[in-house]
A = this chain, B = another copy of it.
Amino acid sequence: METKSGDSRSGRRKFLGRAALAGLAAGAAGKVQAAESEPREVKPKGPYPYADRSRFVKMGRTNDYPKGPFQAMLGPRQNAPLGDQTGIITPAPVHFVRSHSTLPDTDPAKYKLLIHGMVDRALNFTLEDLQRLPSEARVHFLECQGNSSPGHHGHKKFDFVTVQDLHGGTSCSEWTGVPLSVLLKECGVQKGGTWLVSESDDAGRYTYTLPMAKAMEDVMVVYGQNGEPLRPDQGYPVRLMVPGWEGPYSVKWLRQIKVVDQPYMAWDEAMAHSIQRPDLGEKARWYHFEMPVKSLITRPSGGQQLKGPGFYEISGLAWSGAGLISKVEVSTDGGKTWKLAKIQGPVHKKSYTRFTLPWTWDGNEAMLVSRATDERGDVQPSIDQVAKNWGIKADDEWPTAEHAFHFNATQRWRVTKDGKLHDNMYNTSGSSHA
């Protein structure tokens, strides 16, 4: 066996063009020994019942503690490593976390979910009961309603801010559980039972309200995440999964659901999630439901480094609380021109959708940005469009827009000539918004 080196006279078409990869070492003849010259050494070692990662892999969550008057009531907050993630499934150990008190340490043998209130019969479900019932497994994103908000990021100028820092309050998993409609039908919802109050088993008894219509549509009581039991910080043993709606509805460590005849404004809703909106004259809407259409370029993205001109795949994630992503456009000139990205199937409703676009960087300044459209026809807005919708001037007033939640402006990454990538959504020095 011999290694052949390159043949420059070949007319064979190269897929990416010659020297497309700047760092690629061609003509590797003789560098690798053939297989049969190696001694055969067999030393069975490892693996383990539950395998570790390579010691070289550091991908992990980062803390996300904004300064401000609400800090005191915040529990653990960690952002998912969007910039390192491949595919559409977020590994459970790095799923983002927004909790409001302690993490319960629940013995699954003692776990019970009570459904009561305006029902024909109140029922307690053990974990084993839930696992015997009709199940579904679906891929859905979760997103904190404050993710990407100027309230977290707009009050200072960042540089080299990563996609994880800016937008890591979202993740996507394969969730397995029982449709909540199955449990409610088993209990028999009485006439007038139009709302639910769900309560967590954490020390703070986190409590949130849900309309009956959504509960009967696609809400799940879940015990499985990405094939295994929920992790403690994701609600072990049982949580709600409310597809497409802002994170707080998906109550973790679910201990009871009470059927009631009117919407409640529970403690957490009133104190932590009541949101003053500039577009409503600083009034709050009572409830916020669906998360809007959104997309992010995750590779290359803020803080990453291009090694020189040549071929790079642009890749990112898109999602919408309204259902399916129908298209994603990508621009490398800050939004002057757009190209249709390739949608990386399969495409699930209310789930991350991975998109890609081939790109050859010429070494000049560039501005990468993606824009998603969902099946309802909603198009992701620019940050200037968001500001206009809210009736504010973006550059001046973002710092004070602390409660600007459900924030889905397009994210612009500025590529400088040294190959570095910079945030150009909040840090707009040296350029203007498209």
Residues of A bordering B, CB below 8 Å: 1, 3-7, 10, 12-16, 20-21, 23-29, 31-32, 35-36, 38, 40-57, 59-62, 73-76, 78, 84-95, 97, 99-103, 105-108, 112, 114, 116-126, 128-129, 131-137, 139, 174-176, 182, 185-186, 188, 197, 199, 203-205, 207, 223-224, 226-229, 231-233, 236-237, 255-256, 258, 266-267, 299, 307, 310-313, 315, 344, 346, 348, 354, 356, 358
Contact = CB atoms under 8 A, between A and B. Distances in A.
Contact of A108 (B56, B78, B126, B267): B56
A90 B227 contact: yes
Query: Which 6 A-B pairs rank lowest in CB-CB distance, beginning with the nearest?
Result: A6-B121, A86-B224, A49-B60, A86-B176, A87-B137, A15-B185
A254 to B, nearest CB: 12
A350 to B, nearest CB: 13
A86 B127 CA distance: 14
Given A45-B102, A199-B35, A6 B120 contact: yes
A42 B100 contact: yes
B53 A231 contact: yes
A101 B12 CA distance: 39
A134 to B, nearest CB: 5
Contacts of A92: 51, 91
B28 A122 contact: yes
A154 B24 CA distance: 51
Contact of A121 (B27, B84, B135, B136): B27
Given A86-B176, A93-B51, A24 B125 contact: yes
Contacts of A185: 13-15
Nearest to A237: B54
Contacts of A15: 182, 185-186
Contacts of A31: 114, 124
Nearest to A85: B227
Nearest to A118: B4
A236 B114 contact: no
B54 A231 contact: yes
Given A54-B231, A131-B299, 17 more contacts: A3-B122, A4-B118, A7-B121, A12-B188, A24-B129, A26-B124, A32-B116, A35-B199, A40-B101, A46-B76, A46-B233, A47-B99, A50-B61, A51-B233, A52-B231, A59-B228, A87-B175
Contacts of A134: 313, 356, 358
Contacts of A132: 21, 310-313
Total copies of the chain: 2
A24 B114 contact: no
Given A93-B50, A188-B14, A3 B203 contact: no
Nearest to A25: B124
A363 to B, nearest CB: 15
A103 to B, nearest CB: 5
A299 to B, nearest CB: 8
B27 A122 contact: yes
A42 B73 contact: yes
A75 B40 CA distance: 12
Contacts of A197: 35
Nearest to A115: B28
Given A87-B176, A107-B56, A137 B228 contact: no
Contact of A344 (B35, B137, B182, B233): B137
Contacts of A258: 1, 3
A1 B264 CA distance: 12
Given A29-B122, A54-B237, A356 B135 contact: yes
A233 B225 CA distance: 22
Given A266-B35, A346-B348, A229 B53 contact: yes
Nearest to A40: B204
26 contacts: A3-B114, A3-B117, A4-B118, A7-B120, A10-B188, A14-B186, A15-B185, A16-B186, A21-B132, A25-B112, A25-B123, A32-B114, A42-B204, A46-B233, A47-B97, A51-B61, A51-B94, A53-B231, A54-B105, A54-B232, A54-B236, A57-B236, A89-B226, A91-B92, A131-B299, A134-B358
